[in-house]
A and B are shown apart, each in its own frame.
Chain A
Amino acid sequence: MDFEFSEDQTMIIDSARKFLEKECPKEKVRELKEDEKGYDPDTWNKMVEMGWMGLIFPEEYEGTGMDFFDLMILMEEMGRNLLPGPFFSTVALCSLPILEFGSSDQKKEILPKIAYGEKIWTLALTETSATYEPSGVALQATLDGDYVLEGTKLFVPYANIADYMLVVARTSDKADPKEGITVFIVDAKSPGIKTEVIPTAAHDKQCEVIFDKVKVSKGNILGEPDNGWDIVEFIIQRASVLKSAEMLGGAQTALNMGNDYAKERVQFDKPIGSFQAIQHKLAKMLIDVEGLRFLVYEAAWKTSIGSQSALLNSIVKAKANEVFQRTCLESIKVHGAIGFTEELDLGLFFLRTKASEFALGDTGFHRERIAQELESYKPSFLS
């Protein structure tokens, strides 16, 4: 058992924290909310120089060969600072499944360009049913020489600036909705694609993407046709853990802000943190955030050693959903009226809660997955 970061990991944390504090102050976060692109290409290039894009690619794809745990650490730091941009969509949602399921040609073609920050990617999975269940995949891909994609994807992050998308489509109708799904590699500039930014509260550039008879060649399939749900399942599990790490970072900042304010703010001639009503609230927030922290670390560690657990991954995301929301909310309450203003940074974190919660499955979705696992697991006392 070892709860400490390695030297390399400590370096990632230190350099990421310094970098993000400098490159991504909250004025920048506010600016980017109103920015059409929603990210800063200058910051993006610096992230490339730091090796973040290909952090866990092997060297043959121009990566630095670190592991999943290291990537998780980076996500936590990004969450602490609310870094806006297509890092998550490119690296977590697309590069990981390509690395796992891509053909050797696909990997050679795609991954170095991601590592060099040349191409921005996103995942087009959810639709108007707004669910991560396989039944939610309705966008049709019909084979007619090439495949022709017809339908609408919703909540596609950063599709407004993406160069490529992984598009999850239905290629045949089977009794089990998990069957008959195919993942396509699609040039975002293909004729017939129309993208429009959805006005989300977080201004985080989630898009509606309409596919109007979009042609995709047969060679641009990730994995095998009709067996794409395995890839989606892989994405949901890996990206849930990474999203949870980002939410952990956000929750930690929200707790720190509340705690700092409770020491500064004086009422009835005392810092409000000396009142138990406030102090106990903060103590409970600490229990929440530390609990989430070690769960995220456990899941990321298991993934990085190749013993990932679907049960644990869902436990982590369900916990992250609740803790991020609750910590922001309680911190706002500790702040009082100032917590409710545009001026205080805390609101920026709170505005992310709904987007983060929905991403890769809300609490109900993951609770249901946990329950399914429990239905079939064998308790030790029966062994």
Chain B
Amino acid sequence: MDFKFGEKEGKLRKEIREFAKKELPPNWLSVMFEEEHRDEDWEFAMSISKKLSEKGWLTMSWPEEYGGKGASLWEQLAYSEEASYWGIPGTTMGVGGVDWVGPSLMMFGTDELKKKHLPLIASGDADGVWCTGYSEPNAGSDFASIRTRAVRDGDEYVINGQKIWTSAAHRSRWCWLAVKTDIDAPKKHKGISVFAVDMKTEGITVRPLLNYVGYHIFNEVFFDDVRVPATNLVGEENRGWYQLMHSLGYERGSVAGRGYGYNKRILDELIMYCRENHLFDEPAIRNGLADLSIEIETQKMLAYETIYKMSKGGVPIYEPSRDKVFNDHILEHMAFIGTGILGGYAQIDPMNRKSRWSKLKGCIENLYWLFPGISLAAGTDEVELNIIGQYGLNLPKSY
């Protein structure tokens, strides 16, 4: 056992800290999900994406031939941790561009798709921003029940259907879209395919869905006779399920480091707030902060273990689910303890975080109102617990 990072990671961490201090406004504190909502925030995030790209960090995990740096998983982890801790926006290129669209294209895409899209994502330009179209009104946790269809017509596929909860669709140039190509497949997950769809194609309508706070994060996306070149099919027809299982692994692998960096920052902010406001005298607050430190330290080690398994060439099946459930638990707990610490000030609308009464730039209120949504994204806790039961404990399938 050895839980030390190497010199490379140490140097990278330092560079990222310097970058954050130089490029972000003074006392910057990121507020989760805000970058998709306001035009000015989105523009700022995209300007940072560009700079991250110039540094070679945006897609550092990718092989050099595709515009990456071939960074090790440990360097990636150090990057995700630091970027989240310092609240660097624009690290993802929409939802999935960096984390799974790119890597999936490398694994399953044609040379044409790779040549076209990988440099776009790696450049940090607006044309490399993706959204991900998985969920539908009747296919949430039961993803294989999607009904959006793609029917081959000469050199094209014609797509009809609807996606929902599509985050950042209103900011994206491309959609990583899962559809049914064979509705008669004996098992429903066998008829799924994945397409790269230009969001500017005729027949696509994006309708905003606001959350209860008023943020515009996700959308409904309607497909009405949308014609997509057959060359935009990713991998094999009807093999989409297997490809997605692969790329979901990438997504989940990235959650842990980011979650740890973000949570550590919020905890640090709370600690300083309590010190400045003499709240350390209150036993309930002392206990709350102690409990959060225990959980966040635990999260760190779980995240590192997952990355360790990946670094040894393993494909961790239940570990990312474990880490996600634990992150969701921390977010909830931190939201309760954090709003408890702010007391009356926790009532301020996070949309008005410039109010002179807003504390810690609204990040605590924001966490409180948004954690229910975050914990649903990319699989509910219940679905994740099923995965842990089935693959971590070898229990029978429970659904």
Establish whether residues B397 and A274, one from each chain, have CB atoms under 8 Å apart when the complex forms. Answer: yes
Contacts of A298 in B (CB 8 A): 3, 297, 301
Establish whether residues A280 and B385, one from each chain, have CB atoms under 8 Å apart when the complex forms. Answer: yes
Min CB–CB distance A37 → chain B (angstroms): 36
Contacts of B286 in A (CB 8 A): 367-368, 371
Residues of B10-24 at the interface with A, using a CB-CB cut-off of 8 Å, are 17
Q: Mark A342-371, 1 if CB is under 8 A from B, else 0.
A: 000000000000000000000010111011
Establish whether residues B393 and A312, one from each chain, have CB atoms under 8 Å apart when the complex forms. Answer: no
Establish whether residues B392 and A371, one from each chain, have CB atoms under 8 Å apart when the complex forms. Answer: no
The answer to whether residues A274 and B272 also contact, given A374-B293, A381-B85 and a CB cut-off of 8 A, is no
Min CB–CB distance B332 → chain A (angstroms): 14
Q: Mark B313-338, 1 if CB is under 8 A from A, else 0.
A: 00000000010011000000000000
Establish whether residues B271 and A276, one from each chain, have CB atoms under 8 Å apart when the complex forms. Answer: no
Give the docked Cα–Cα distance between A139 and B65 (Å): 72
Chain B: interface secondary structure? Answer: helix
Contacts of B201 in A (CB 8 A): none
Give the docked Cα–Cα distance between A276 and B299 (Å): 24
Q: Which one, A187-195, A197-205, A217-225, A283-291, is touching chain B?
A: A283-291
Establish whether residues B271 and A283, one from each chain, have CB atoms under 8 Å apart when the complex forms. Answer: no
Contacts of B74 in A (CB 8 A): 1
A337 within 8 A of B: no
B302 within 8 A of A: yes
A44 within 8 A of B: no
Min CB–CB distance B343 → chain A (angstroms): 19
Establish whether residues B325 and A287, one from each chain, have CB atoms under 8 Å apart when the complex forms. Answer: yes
Q: Mark A255-277, 1 if CB is under 8 A from B, else 0.
A: 00001001100000011011110
Establish whether residues A282 and B293, one from each chain, have CB atoms under 8 Å apart when the complex forms. Answer: no
Give the docked Cα–Cα distance between A251 and B243 (Å): 37
Q: Which one, A2-10, A19-27, A95-103, A206-214, is touching chain B?
A: A2-10
The answer to whether residues A290 and B302 also contact, given A282-B395, A315-B293, A375-B280 and a CB cut-off of 8 A, is yes
Contacts of A5 in B (CB 8 A): 1
Residues of A304-358 at the interface with B, using a CB-CB cut-off of 8 Å, are 311-312, 315, 318-319
Contacts of A4 in B (CB 8 A): 1
Contacts of A2 in B (CB 8 A): 1-3, 308
Pick the most buried of B271, B272, B294, B385: most chain A CB atoms within 10 A of its CB. B294
The answer to whether residues A283 and B389 also contact, given A3-B305, A291-B326, A371-B280 and a CB cut-off of 8 A, is yes
B43 within 8 A of A: no
Establish whether residues B389 and A279, one from each chain, have CB atoms under 8 Å apart when the complex forms. Answer: yes
Contacts of A271 in B (CB 8 A): 395-396
Contacts of B5 in A (CB 8 A): 1
Establish whether residues B311 and A1, one from each chain, have CB atoms under 8 Å apart when the complex forms. Answer: yes
A234 within 8 A of B: no
Give the docked Cα–Cα distance between A279 and B325 (Å): 14
Residue from the list A3, A292, A312 in contact with B1, Cβ < 8 A = A3
Establish whether residues B305 and A276, one from each chain, have CB atoms under 8 Å apart when the complex forms. Answer: no
Min CB–CB distance B330 → chain A (angstroms): 11
B347 within 8 A of A: no
Give the docked Cα–Cα distance between A374 and B326 (Å): 22
Q: Mark B371-399, 1 if CB is under 8 A from A, else 0.
A: 00000000000100110110011111111
A379 within 8 A of B: yes
Residue from the list A1, A295, A374 in contact with B271, Cβ < 8 A = A374
A297 within 8 A of B: yes
Binding site for B on A (CB under 8 A): 1-6, 9, 69, 259, 262-263, 270-271, 273-276, 279-280, 282-284, 286-287, 290-292, 294-295, 297-298, 301-302, 311-312, 315, 318-319, 364, 366-368, 370-371, 374-375, 377, 379-383
Write 14 A-B pairs (CB below 8 A) sorted by A numbering: A2-B2, A259-B393, A263-B396, A274-B395, A279-B385, A280-B385, A294-B298, A297-B1, A298-B297, A364-B287, A367-B286, A371-B286, A379-B271, A380-B17
Q: Beyond the given A3-B305, A287-B326, A311-B293, could you list 12 further A-B residue pairs with CB under 8 A, ordered by the A residue number?
A: A69-B1, A259-B393, A263-B395, A273-B396, A279-B385, A287-B302, A295-B301, A297-B301, A298-B301, A301-B3, A318-B290, A381-B85
Binding site for A on B (CB under 8 A): 1-5, 17, 74, 85-86, 265, 268-269, 271-272, 275, 280, 286-287, 289-291, 293-294, 297-299, 301-302, 304-305, 307-309, 311, 322, 325-326, 382, 385-386, 388-389, 392-399
